[in-house]
Chain A
Amino acid sequence: MSSIFWLIPISLVFLGVAILAFFWAVKSQQFEDLDSPARHILLDEVTERWQQER
């Protein structure tokens, strides 16, 4: 159980990396449009299937 003494700090490093990554994503405008990407995936799937059927 003494492994937590170094496992937890490592997880904190990951926490820092995750936060930095999130900040970068916000800055590069990835959170501007939260609605279209959801429909996008469906659209691509539908069109592929539809084109295969023809």
Chain B
Amino acid sequence: MRCYHCQLNIPKGAHYSVMIEGQPRAMCCPGCQAVAQTIVEHGLVAYYQLREQPAVSQAERTTEMSVDSALFDDPGFQREFVFCEEGSDLRQAELIIQGLHCAACVWLLEKRLKSLHGLQEVSVNLTTERARICWNNQRIPLSQILLAIERLGYQAHPFTAGQQEQVRQRLYHQQLRYLAVAGFGMMHVMTYAVALYLGAFQGMEHTHWQFLRWVSFFVTTTVIVYPARPFFANAWRSLCQRQLVMDIPVSLAIGGAYAASVVAVWLQKGEVYFDAVCMFVFFLTLGRFLELRARQRASQIIERLRTLTPLTATCLIDGEERVVAVRELEVGDQLLVKPGETIPVDGRVLEGVSSVSEALLTGEHLPQPKSKGDRVLAGSLNMENPLIVRITQLGQQTVLATIIRLLARAQAEKPRMAELADRVAGYFVGAVLLLAACVMGIWWYLDPAQAFPNALSILVVTCPCALSLATPVALTASTNALAKLGFLHTRSHVLEGLANATHCLWDKTGTLTCGHFSLQQILPCRPINKAHILAIAAALERTSAHPIAQAFHGLATTELTVAYTKVVSNQGVEGQYAGECYRIGQPGFVQQLAAHTEPLTAPSGEGIWIVLGDKQGPLAWLQLTDTVRSEAAATIKQLQQLGLHVQILSGDPSPQLPHLAKSLGVSSAFGGVAPEQKVAHLRELTRQGAVVIMVGDGINDAPVLSAAHVSVAMGAGSDLAKTSADAVLLNNDLALLPIAIRWARKTKQIIRQNLTWALFYNVLALPLAAVGWVPPYLAAIGMSFSSLIVVFNALTLSRLPIEKRD
């Protein structure tokens, strides 16, 4: 049975349902149920028909669906990200929305928000996962808007454009403006050119002829002065640096054609090439624009990582609690971090005993115990008890920020393939310039009138734009398509590595397995009904946020009410039911309750054993194991079908490993492998000529991950601590790996196609231009067309086939 809302399996014992269109639909948790109920109440049930993917599951939400209205409506806090107009109640803000992944979500959100009284405008951008809202502050407070978003199952955070974002936007806008001027100019000049060509055939009055040429000159000058400027600037800069870039022949062609045409207009004789110039500039600008857009999409994904740290924190000033913006904090301040909150800074614990989940940073899914003197990191989640933390690092100095910076820098690296193409382009450009000069010289001798146009055509026709465009556009299109599915790679060689891979090595815990615990069996120590034991255990664990407790949530068929429960960090839970005192958790902890009995020893078997006991002694042993991911077996089979050798390298010495390996279809599995041994094994494989993909999740895999050709990390949200990983499976969905490999192979194929076509076209058109069969305007069209073919071929990589889950 699957939850109607999020399509995940409904755990045993969960009975939630919502009436949707007259039919009761099963839900997996109270969260999904609440969201579905909200959707029904507001008449937005069409969402379930329109959506292309299941909704984000609410089962793992640790924060409640509530909004701190005092905080978000405070004008001081709003100053950070809300824009107010003078003398008006209208306010504008941008929000980051988490959980959006298809157009139906956008529709749902916009429809719901538009129905709020006082909301003037709302526009949700799926690509950047941001929403712009404009509201009347007198009629509706911001907190109400945020609450409405939360109730639909999405999380909203205030958005402040970082510096990088502002630069990105400025570049994008500038490129759009260039495109507009070039495009409009081209259209006008081509109209005049057509008239001039017809006039050449049919005869035209001299004044009209002159007028049209002058007007062409006027419009083309606008195009030269504005959109063509970057080409000239770049060419000049490269010349000063003694580098040959393709902007050089481009600038020569544009400048040369323009200058020759100006002279022709002035002298009132000779051909004008204004139409060729404009077309050339337009198509070049178009190519640059598409490339910029594709490149920017990748970096916008990095921007989203910034939402990991909250904007506000509870500061302790003279013993009093005050909510402040994180921006105003200073090193040395004391913060109170409540359970369920994300820690916004790096710091040291002053008071409190709790466990902190650093899963987002290290991939370690068991929370780390933290007490006085321990270090905590920004981005980690406080699980059990309040902590008082003294700030040691803020903002850009935190470990988290460093990692984001490294990721961004890695993003900016040029792929080796593209660098190669650039170098080749350099030599090519030199050869072209030489050839053009030769052709001009020869034609000057034979027929001077044709010398210049032919040289021009050569320059235009051999423009290696297609060559230089071929690889980057394909790589960025591929990257973005995969990123949309949840496979995010940050290093440039990943696609190449994936395409050439021969072996795939897997870690076990946390990678092939979920990192969640599930109850495997109950071994009673006394003759008691298992269901009763389960009921008591579940009732005790209900209040704990520990991963072990998660295994019990929703498991019991009957819900018992306990008088009280007390969670003891990393030991277990104590509680009272029906007058009896119980403890569940570590053997030592439970032993304390029945001090007169023998010490408890756990039975042998896989996983973690916890014990439930009362004052008389142990009641039962409960075995918790890590569940294998449901898609693991299918993924491994697909990898093998793709021709890869699959191996498991696990640090876990469990004897269950061969059994697991067999169930997944893996023939070679090694257990109890130390990190150095993993690296050695990897090196051995590489020495034999293998190209290895390593998939792991935690800090203990770091050395191996940096040794593999392509390393893939698991990550709920993102597995940031491992900068040694090249790629991240954002949704922990293993099935993405074979998809990524298939797509990488296709990318390699398309790049090869593009390079072949680009070279073929250049080689073919060159002799034609030299001989004089290609007039400049035809050369411009041909070159632009060739570039467009390459770009469009590469863009086919943007559409990933979304496999529907059943």
A residues with a Cβ closer than 8 A to B are 1-2, 4-5, 8, 11-12, 15, 18-19, 22-23, 26-27, 29, 31-36, 39-40, 43-44, 46-47, 50-51
Asked if B103 and A29 sit within 8 Å, CB to CB, the answer is no
| Chain A positions within 8 Å of B180 at CB level | 19, 22-23, 26
B185 neighbours in A (Cβ, 8 Å):
15
Neighbouring B residues of A2 by C-beta, 8 Å? 208
Evaluate contact between A33 and B128: CB separation under 8 angstroms.
Answer: yes
B197 CB to closest chain A CB, in angstroms? 16
**B173 with A27: CB separation less than 8 A:** yes
Q: When A23-B177, A40-B103 are in contact, do A32 and B208 touch as well, CB less than 8 Å?
A: no
Please pick, from A1, A11, A23, the residue contacting B208 in the complex, using a CB distance under 8 A: A1
Smallest CB separation, B365 vs chain A (Å): 35
Smallest beta-carbon distance A19→chain B, Å: 6
Q: Digit string of B109-133 for contact with A (CB within 8 Å is 1, else 0)?
A: 0000000000000011111100010
Residue from B107, B126, B219 within 8 A of A35 (CB atoms): B126
How far does the Cβ of A36 sit from chain B's closest Cβ, in whole Å? 5
- State A32–B124 Cα separation when bound (angstroms): 10
B125 and A40: CB pair below 8 A?
no
Return 12 A-B CB contacts under 8 Å, by A number.
Answer: A2-B208, A8-B215, A11-B188, A19-B180, A23-B180, A26-B180, A33-B125, A36-B106, A36-B127, A43-B104, A46-B46, A50-B49
- Which of B173, B184, B211 contacts A15, CB < 8 Å? B184
**Cα distance A44–B106 when bound, in Å?**
12
Which residues of B are found within 8 Å of A12, using beta-carbon distances?
A: 188, 215, 218-219
Q: Chain A at the B interface: mostly helix, strand, loop or mixed?
A: helix
Residue ranges of B at the interface with A (Cβ–Cβ < 8 Å): 46, 49-50, 103-104, 106-107, 123-128, 132, 172-173, 176-177, 180-181, 184-185, 188, 192, 205, 208, 211-212, 215, 218-219
The answer for the CA separation of A1 and B198 in the assembled complex, in Å, is: 14
For B211, the chain A residues whose CB sits under 8 A away are 4-5, 8
Task: Choose from A19, A22, A27, A36 the contact partner of B103 (Cβ within 8 Å).
Answer: A36
Bound together, the chains give a CA A32 to CA B125 distance in angstroms of 8
- Chain B, Cβ-Cβ closest to A5: B211
Chain B, Cβ-Cβ closest to A1: B208
B177/A22 in contact, CB under 8 A: yes
Taking the closest CB of chain B, its distance from the CB of A26, in whole angstroms, is 5
**A43-B107 CB under 8 A given contacts A23-B180, A29-B132:** yes
| Cα distance, A31 to B215, chains bound together (Å) | 31
Q: Which B residues are CB-close (under 8 A) to A39?
A: 103, 106
Is the beta-carbon distance between A1 and B205 smaller than 8 angstroms? yes
Chain B hits for A8, CB < 8 A: 192, 211-212, 215
Contact status A43-B103, CB under 8 Å: yes
Across chains A and B, which 7 residue pairs bring their CB atoms closest together, nearest first?
A39-B103, A33-B125, A22-B180, A47-B46, A43-B107, A36-B126, A26-B176
A39 CA / B609 CA spacing, docked (Å) = 52
A30 to B454, CA, bound (A): 43
Quote the shortest CB–CB distance from A45 to chain B (angstroms).
11
The residue of chain A having its C-beta at the shortest distance from the C-beta of B195 within the complex is A4
Rounded to whole angstroms, the CA-CA distance of A51 and B44 in the bound complex is 11
17 more A-B residue pairs beyond the given contacts A4-B212, A8-B212, A43-B104, with a C-beta to C-beta distance below 8 A: A11-B188, A12-B188, A12-B215, A15-B219, A19-B184, A22-B177, A26-B173, A26-B177, A26-B180, A31-B173, A33-B123, A36-B103, A36-B126, A40-B106, A40-B107, A47-B50, A50-B49
Neighbouring A residues of B215 by C-beta, 8 Å:
8, 12
Contact between A15 and B205, CB atoms less than 8 A apart: no
**Bound-complex Cα distance A26 to B174 (A):** 9
Q: How far is the CB of B55 from chain A (nearest CB, A)?
A: 16
Distance of A22 Cα from B183 Cα, bound (Å): 12
Q: Which residues of A contact B50 (CB under 8 A)?
A: 43, 46-47
Complex contacts, A40 vs chain B, CB 8 Å: 103, 106-107
Tell me, rounded to whole Å, the shortest Cβ–Cβ distance linking A23 to chain B.
6
Chain A residues with CB below 8 A from B172, complex form: 31
Q: Hey, which chain B residues are within 8 Å of A19, CB to CB?
A: 180-181, 184
